[in-house]
Amino acid sequence: MSGDKDLDSFLKKIDDVGSLIRDMNTGSEEKRSKAMEKADEFLTEYRQQQHSSDGSSAVNRSVINKYTDDEQKPTSQRNEISQEAFMASVERDATERTERRQKNLVTSTSYKEKGNSAFKSGHFTEAIEWYSKAISLSPDQVTYYSNRTQAYIKANHYEKALDDCDIGLRLDETFVKLYVHKGRSLMYLNRFQEAIETFQFLIKMDKKHKKLADEYLEEVEKRRLDHQNEEKANNLLTEGDDGMRQMKDEIDKLRKGSCKDITKSLTVLAKCCRDETFRSGFRQFQGFKIFKENNTLKRIEESDDVSIKNKCICLLSQLVLDDEQNSKMAGEMRGALYVTVEMLDEQSPIEHKVDALQFLNRLSVHKQSVALMNQNCPMERLLNLLLPLIGQGGEMAIVAIGLLNNLALVKEFVIKFKDKLSENFVPGIFKMMELLCLPFESQQQVSLNFLSVMNTSITTVSNLFLTPAIRNRFKSEQLWRPSISLMTKYISEKDDVTKQKIVDTTLGMFVNLSINGFHLPKNDYQLFLDLSQLLLSSDVMKCERCMCIWSYLMKDNTDLVKIAIEKKLPNHIIKVFKKHKGREEIVKHIIRCLAIFANQNNNVSLLLHSEKAIPLLLDLLTSKNSTIVGNIPQCLNSFTKINTIVEYLADYDLVGCLLNIVRDETFPKQVRYNCAVTIGKFGTADHRYLERLRELHGMEILHQIMKEVGANK
């Protein structure tokens, strides 16, 4: 071991010397200067060591003759070399090692890429082999360990994944992905408390990872509860619980093929699995294998026995209820999913349709299982059967629209069926809205038929509008008008909970529709002005969504901005600003609107001043929200046209606050550029701001950021 340490120490010195020589020959004056200082330190230490070894120190150097007169003293094998020759040799060794390391890195990178390709293809064992080859050549590359960890997790080798996490984090303790992989590995090993501590440490390390860590913490909690239920199931079985024993016996009989009445066994299992512990027990006792090992169930598609098909669907529907792991396993059962979709055919008995629809709806709740559905279901057939069910109204329509809403969250589904959804589904929802806008005496029957499904239908349309192709179509065709009319109609009916939910979901839909803004016809302006009454709502979500819609639409509708100013909308928005100044999700839209208003009309800037709202703006310059900080300069720019405000702000260290943001590289360059422009405008408006900039030595960084961003424009 001591020999290995000596070798490592020697090789490190070689690298240090080689590095010093390279830095002393670099073109950078700063690097050369630092290298010279380090070289002096290195040589001083070297001379002291030489001084210590040549007898100058107080060490006993007495020579003891170890050989008798009859023995021959061996001749010295040491070849004396000069210090210059030694240093040259060291440099050559360091150079060779660097070249070898670079060559290895090129080869190992190619191995890593092959590993990535294998991983994407689902060949995890092959991916592990390639990553291992990469690591053997370049063991100091943290990404190689991270990639191999992912492959180990996919291959269920959780202990090995943990080992790689530990090695990788010793190389780079800030590598976020490794904390995620470590937490997941611990979770799969049922070491839940350690997993929780890992994700909590990730949040502590940097709060910007909180959302990611919280998602995994939620998954850990679900896994922990599943594990507890599995242990409960085992304990009940051990204690001789009749229900658990019966379920285990039925599973065993079906797997062995010794079951005389399959329909009865499936009914018994479905009844048992109404309890979450029994659902976990079914999985724990290998219950899903009945669909692979029983000769009838594994060929369920080919069966002519409709009763067995229906009982299979009923059992699966119970198994996936609020159980993510069971849902994932059911989502992989292609045969059962095909049978379920066929049960929705109009020729099927109504009770079979209800059972099939309920199973698919429950399965679509979880992110992983709905993605598997999209892969393993005959989706075109399913959509063709769902749309007529939705059109019929009633209880089945509610479940059908819920299923479609969950499917609309799957990007691949929306892309594949965007034309069908745009032609057959979305226009129908807007037509329903139009009917609901009819006069009161005409609405009684319409409401009974449609109100029960409207809320979920609008949510589905909202999800579809996240896809640009669908969103842009309905902007241009202006089919959204009934939605605004319906909102303004229902706003006043505050005591009707169902109608208020429709207002909420319609606002959400319109937020998604207006994400990138669009031009409004002038005859629709009043609709949006009527909508602005929601800004003063006590319901925070309504206020936020309304504010969001205004911020998206104003940039493309200058005439609407002018009319809004005339209608005193900025006054309302300032009140909202004061009320919700601590809510960043609302404030970011408020700032954008105020900036547009203030640059359109100087009176809005004066209003902000008279209403004492400017200090609120300045306080927000300490925010870490780049949307807020990036838009505040747009507001401040309008103030440079008004001498009273320029004079007023001279008492604040505005330049210092803005310069801090310009220097803060954690903000996007565009945000820093906006702040730099504002400093320039105030410097032009009043010499005191320019003098403050010089005091803070900010000219250079200002020119730098202006040059960097300006070059990209």
Q: Are 124 and 156 in contact (CB under 8 A)?
A: no
Nearest to 629 by CA among 662, 597, 580: 662
509: left (phi over 0), alpha (psi -120 to 50) or beta: alpha
Distance from C-alpha of 506 to C-alpha of 477, rounded to nearest angstrom:
18
Q: Give residue for tokens 């320039």.
A: 680
Contacting residues for 342 by C-beta, under 8 A, at least 6 apart: 348
Query: 324-331 vs 367-376: helix axis angle to the nearest 10?
Result: 10
pLDDT score for 589: 93
Would you call 180 exposed, middle or buried from its count of C-beta atoms within 10 A (0-12, 13-18, 19+)?
A: buried
Q: Which residues of 241-278 are buried (b: 16+ CB within 10 A; e: fewer)?
A: bebbeebbebbebbbeeebeebeebbbbbbbbbebbbb
Q: Are 372 and 328 in contact (CB under 8 A)?
A: yes
Q: Give residue for tokens 């049922």.
A: 190
Q: Among the residues of 423-514, which ranges form H helices?
A: 426-436, 440-464, 468-477, 481-490, 497-513
Q: Are 379 and 413 in contact (CB under 8 A)?
A: yes
Q: Are 284 and 231 in contact (CB under 8 A)?
A: no
| Cα-based distances in Å from 44 to 37, 51, 104, 402, 485 | 11, 10, 35, 77, 84
Compute the radius of gyration of the chain from its Cα atoms. Answer: 36
Contacting residues for 289 by C-beta, under 8 A, at least 6 apart: 255
Encode pLDDT of 573-613 as tens digits: 999 999 998 888 899 999 999 999 999 999 999 999 999 99
Cβ count within 10 A of residue 408: 23
Helix (H, G, I), strand (E, B) or coil at 385: helix
Nearest to 590 by CA among 632, 562, 556: 632
Tokens of 71: 């023995």
Q: Among the residues of 121-172, which ranges form H helices?
A: 124-137, 142-154, 158-171
Distance from C-alpha of 562 to C-alpha of 600, rounded to nearest angstrom:
8
**CATH tag for 240-377 (out of 2.160.10.10, 3.30.565.10, 1.25.10.10, 1.10.3720.10):** 1.25.10.10
Contacting residues for 698 by C-beta, under 8 A, at least 6 apart: 655, 659, 662, 679
Count of residues in the chain: 713
DSSP state of 26: S
pLDDT score for 642: 93
Angle among Cα 239, 244, 245 to the nearest 5 degrees reads 80
Tokens of 405: 């809403």
Tokens of 706: 């202006």
Q: For each successive 10 residues of the chain (713 residues), what is the average pLDDT?
A: 47 53 52 59 56 45 42 47 59 69 87 93 93 92 94 94 93 92 94 94 85 90 86 82 89 89 93 88 91 90 90 94 91 94 90 94 92 92 89 78 87 88 83 72 49 77 87 75 82 81 89 86 83 84 90 89 92 92 90 93 93 93 90 93 93 92 89 92 92 89 77 54
Would you call 109 exposed, middle or buried from its count of C-beta atoms within 10 A (0-12, 13-18, 19+)?
A: middle
Encode pLDDT of 225-261 as tens digits: 888 888 887 888 788 888 889 989 999 999 998 888 9
Q: Give residue for tokens 């001749």.
A: 75
Distance from C-alpha of 550 to C-alpha of 573, rounded to nearest angstrom:
11
Helix (H, G, I), strand (E, B) or coil at 644: helix
Q: Give residue for tokens 């991916």.
A: 127
Q: Which residues of 538-555 are buried (b: 16+ CB within 10 A; e: fewer)?
A: eeeebbbbbbbbbbbbbe
Contacting residues for 632 by C-beta, under 8 A, at least 6 apart: 591, 595, 617, 620, 621
Distance from C-alpha of 196 to C-alpha of 218, rounded to nearest angstrom:
10
pLDDT score for 362: 94
Is residue 374 within a helix (H) or strand (E), and if so which, with residue range? helix 367-376
Q: Is 97-226 CATH 1.25.40.10?
A: yes
What are the φ and ψ backbone dihedral angles of 625, each rounded to 5 degrees? -80, 110
What are the φ and ψ backbone dihedral angles of 401, each rounded to 5 degrees? -70, -30
Q: Are 169 and 201 in contact (CB under 8 A)?
A: no
* Three-class secondary structure assignment of 515-556: CCCCCCCHHHHHHHHHHHHHHHCCCHHHHHHHHHHHHHHHCC
| pTM for this prediction | 0.62
Nearest to 191 by CA among 224, 165, 161: 224
Encode pLDDT of 621-660 as tens digits: 998 889 999 999 999 999 999 999 999 999 899 999 999 9
Residue ranges per structural domain of the chain? 97-226, 240-377
Q: Are 460 and 404 in contact (CB under 8 A)?
A: yes
Nearest to 248 by CA among 283, 276, 202, 297: 283
pLDDT score for 94: 64
pLDDT score for 60: 41
Amino acid letter for position 79: N
Nearest to 675 by CA among 641, 702, 647, 708: 702
